[in-house]
Amino acid sequence: MSSITQALQFVNHQIQQALAQAHRPANSVDLLAVSKTKPLSDIAQAYQAGQRRFGENYVQEGVDKILESRQQAWLNEPIEWHFIGPLQSNKTRLVAEHFDWMQTLDRAKIADRLAAQRPEQMAPLQVCIQVNISQEQAKSGVSLAEVDALAAHIAQQPQLNLRGLMAIPQNLGQGQALAEQFKAMGEKFAELQQQYASVDTLSMGMSGDMQLAINHGSTMVRVGSAIFGQRG
């Protein structure tokens, strides 16, 4: 068995354990395998082990892998590709034309461009609003107070489908501050679900804070190096 296959099994096992500890149903959290900087051959190994959902941070690198993956003999079911990096407005077309999900949407202007550029024959782009939950100056994302306005804006665009919220908290370990931030995300997510039938995704939690995120209602965890190894 390859090390990627083993690591993937281990991470899936950790997710199920965290769910059990949180008294949540099995399989109620999806794993996004973050494959940034890793070659398509690594993605192929994870795919052969059953993984279908991959996340990329750099637009051009992601698009190259998406196109290359479609040429592969091993691809018998489609991969679900998630864009999870910062996006400049001059790169929106690449995301609109190639990705299935855009998790880091934080501006109405970017939403408008993605909607206009999404090809009509494709399914709507699935989007999450990125929340800057740690209120860091440098990080992208809207404040919790700004979520409703952006959600309403996205909901008007037929080429976009609002799926939920995403956050990358500051690295605070497993401390009380992080728990409070995850709790606030969980509450906002529940509120949004009341308003929009399409909302089902709370993307939060990585290797180090998976249990805490799952305790607070995460439905998608994003894991890279624990599956593919450290990035060079």
Ligand X SMILES: *Cc1c(COP(=O)(O)O)cnc(C)c1O
Q: Which residues bind ligand X (CB under 6 A)?
A: 34, 36, 57, 84, 168, 206-207, 222-226
Residue closer to ligand X by CB (options 84, 202) is 84
> Cβ 120 to ligand X, closest distance in Å?
29
> Cβ 68 to ligand X, closest distance in Å?
20
> Cβ 209 to ligand X, closest distance in Å?
10
Q: Which residues of 111-136 are buried (b: 16+ CB within 10 A; e: fewer)?
A: bbbbbeebeeeeebbbbbbbbbbbee
Cα(72)–Cα(49) distance, integer angstroms: 16
> Cβ 201 to ligand X, closest distance in Å?
14
Kindly give the pairing relationship between strand 125-131 and strand 201-203.
unpaired
Residue closer to ligand X by CB (options 150, 168) is 168
Residue closer to ligand X by CB (options 45, 57) is 57
Question: In terms of Cα–Cα distance, which of 133, 136, 111, 138 is closest to 124?
Answer: 111
81 residue type, one letter: W
Reduced DSSP (H G I as helix, E B as strand, rest coil) percent helix, strand, coil of the chain, to 5: 45, 20, 40
Residue closer to ligand X by CB (options 13, 70) is 13
Residue closer to ligand X by CB (options 150, 227) is 227
Q: Give the N- to C-terminal CA distance of the chain in Å, as an integer.
A: 23
> Cβ 131 to ligand X, closest distance in Å?
12
Residue closer to ligand X by CB (options 63, 84) is 84
Q: What residue number has its CB nearest to ligand X? A: 224
Residues near 39 by beta carbon (within 8 Å), at least 6 away in sequence:
none
Phi-psi region of 180 (alpha: psi -120 to 50; beta: other; left: phi over 0): alpha
> Cβ 9 to ligand X, closest distance in Å?
16
